[in-house]
Structure 1
């Protein structure tokens, strides 16, 4: 064996040299970290040197591969249950409300009458009615025109008193309605002033008690 002689104090580096060497080493390490290690490992390139040297692209590729590896290693997620089929709600079709069937008022009467008048002859048809009751009517004269008077006479009224609703001369037909202004008989008087027989047909509908002819 050879015995190596120990260096003397003069041969050892001074403190100043040690500090300077340490600072230089730190600066070189920092420069390598910023320009080489960070771009190539983490795709972090604050100086732009790493992208110029192609190191940043290498770091981006490493990060992408690492993310894909994590995704492959992750346990499969349970499939979401399929949504329940939507059942269409069938709305019941609204049926049109039944329209009430018009029924004749049982209090109303309907009558049809025919009378024939010889030349110069007159006649009348009366309805027994109470006050404020209404009747509608229609009559026609076949064979010639007649004179007529639609009027009413009260029960137990003065002799000769009557109330005229309508009247006319040489008329072949008439229709309308009237409302009784008192209790009594209400109707029509016709006279044939022609030289021929005339047949009168009368139809009445209303609230009356009876027909007198």
Structure 2
């Protein structure tokens, strides 16, 4: 009976195979594991290969499209922020009857640039009980503070204009329908606390004038 001979690996080949395995493992760690599991992409390869998209931060919220919207460390918005202060009286014009005929229906798409570190307003004119559907979203899902509000149209110019806030929040997107409670200007105040300008894409459909 012949004796079986087992192959004997040379020590140099074992060391070479070990080194190759370590290099491959380190490469996978940097290119795939770190970007996907920890959001760390030192080489940029994780973004190119798509591994960075797998990273889900624990402190963020996920919207319906799976995009991440940072809402950490945002200040709470209090009831006192809604509308004019108690020292600004509601004008009598707010209770005027609605007109017999509303403004013609229209549809528009526009953009608003909110400068870095600043705020800006976008408003439209509506008659009492005019209706509108609206949608706005930031171009890159940046979160903005916003105050959706309306100002009563008054016959005489006043020092402080009376306004009511309909929605105040921090978000990258808003959709809804609106019934104007009085004639006047209605729209959004956007505040951008970041160091870069933010583009807001707006869609409007209803009875209003720009």
TM-score by length of 2: 0.47
Larger radius of gyration, structure 1 or 2? 1
TM-score by length of 1: 0.46
